[in-house]
């Protein structure tokens, strides 16, 4: 929370006066002003045809491993959107803390501000979460590859939903952005927020998706929906020669250690239309021989899960 020292003359200004000052500074072309995030909240779900209910999810956890670590905070913010990617507003969020079975590591408290005292005695049941997300047509997270695995481990309700990622399903680089972190995108969109608390991150993600992209001119959510609806495939470069590991990494492959039941191999996720060309590259440049590599077809119901 940002406060002003006693006697600060700025404290006497009205919101309209401060906004006038901010607009004046911006008008000089020498300053950029960040405003506090102001979510557009709806009192209820509007009964309009052609709308859907999305839910933006963010989890705070005790660590990075969906197998060993635990969720300590749920943030889920429902929002109403149109099929062409316009956001009408958000609804009442689901915000809950949860006490883990082991103490919260100090570095996690430093990052999130969540202390052991805050979660002491706090609990969330899988049934509560499942009931809340039941009406959702789509789940979005900023780095869904992380959040989905934790969410599905907590309740299988998330396995029945299509997922999208606000970090990966918008081509931020093509739109002129130099990074994809939520805080950076927020600053580029002209607002600041208190990060690393689940609901705040969700509201920031929704606000970013509500912006019109500077190059394509389409709403960010429309770009996300277009990419998320595509069928993708994961190619598993099983038994790729070790000396090609750096080349594969630079090309976008990631290493899977096999503990999730998938092949122990380098893999890459691509649009279905690009699979044949990538297989041809692997056979010619990496294996230098004909090879039959596993290919997993991925739909939005499986993306970012351990199933693919």
Tell me what pLDDT residue 3 has. 60
Q: Give the pLDDT mean for 8-35.
A: 82
Q: Give the pLDDT mean for 87-109.
A: 97
CB-CB contact of 93 with 112 (8 Å): no
> Whats the size of the chain, residue-wise?
308
Tell me what pLDDT residue 224 has. 98
Q: Given the structure tokens 């963010």, which residue do they identify?
A: 58
* Residue pLDDT, tens place only, 178-188: 999 999 999 99
7 versus 129: the higher-pLDDT residue is: 129
Give the count of beta carbons closer than 10 Å to the beta carbon of residue 63: 14
pTM value is 0.86
| Mean pLDDT, the chain, whole residue set | 93
Q: Give the pLDDT mean for 139-147.
A: 98
User: Is the pLDDT assigned to residue 8 strictly greater than 90?
Assistant: no
CB-CB contact of 248 with 237 (8 Å): yes
Among residues of the chain, what percentage have pLDDT more than 90? 80
Q: How far is CA 63 from CA 119, 146, 283, in A?
A: 16, 11, 38
User: Is the pLDDT assigned to residue 223 strictly greater than 70?
Assistant: yes
Q: Give the pLDDT mean for 26-55.
A: 88
Query: Given this structure, which CATH class describes domain 51-228?
Result: alpha beta
Q: Give the pLDDT mean for 133-149.
A: 98
């Amino acid at each position: 929370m940002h406060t002003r020292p006693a006697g600060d003359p700025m404290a006497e200004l009205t919101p309209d006066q401060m906004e006038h000052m901010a607009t004046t500074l911006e008008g000089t072309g020498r300053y950029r002003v960040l405003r506090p995030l102001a979510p557009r909240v709806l009192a209820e779900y509007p009964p309009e045809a052609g709308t859907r209910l999305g839910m933006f999810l963010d989890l705070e956890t005790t660590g990075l491993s969906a197998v060993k670590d635990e969720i300590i905070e749920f943030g889920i913010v429902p929002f109403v959107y149109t099929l062409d990617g316009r956001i009408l507003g958000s609804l009442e969020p689901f915000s809950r803390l949860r006490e883990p079975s082991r103490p919260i590591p100090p570095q996690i408290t430093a990052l999130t501000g969540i202390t052991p005292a805050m979660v002491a005695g706090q609990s969330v049941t899988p049934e509560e979460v499942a009931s809340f997300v039941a009406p959702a047509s789509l789940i979005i997270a900023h780095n869904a590859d992380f959040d989905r695995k934790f969410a599905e481990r907590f309740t299988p309700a998330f396995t029945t939903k299509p997922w999208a990622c606000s970090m990966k399903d918008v081509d931020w680089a093509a739109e002129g952005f130099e990074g994809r972190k939520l805080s950076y995108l927020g600053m580029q969109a002209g607002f600041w927020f208190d990060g690393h608390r689940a609901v705040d991150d969700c509201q920031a993600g929704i606000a970013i998706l509500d912006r019109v992209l500077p190059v394509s001119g389409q709403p960010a959510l429309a770009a996300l929906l277009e990419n998320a609806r595509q069928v993708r495939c994961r190619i598993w470069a099983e038994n790729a020669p070790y000396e090609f590991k750096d080349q594969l990494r630079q090309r976008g492959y990631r290493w899977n250690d096999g503990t999730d039941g998938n092949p122990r191999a380098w893999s890459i996720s691509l649009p279905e239309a690009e699979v044949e060309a990538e297989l041809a590259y692997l056979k010619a440049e990496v294996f230098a021989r004909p090879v039959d590599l596993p290919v997993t077809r991925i739909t939005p119901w499986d993306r970012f899960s351990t199933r693919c």
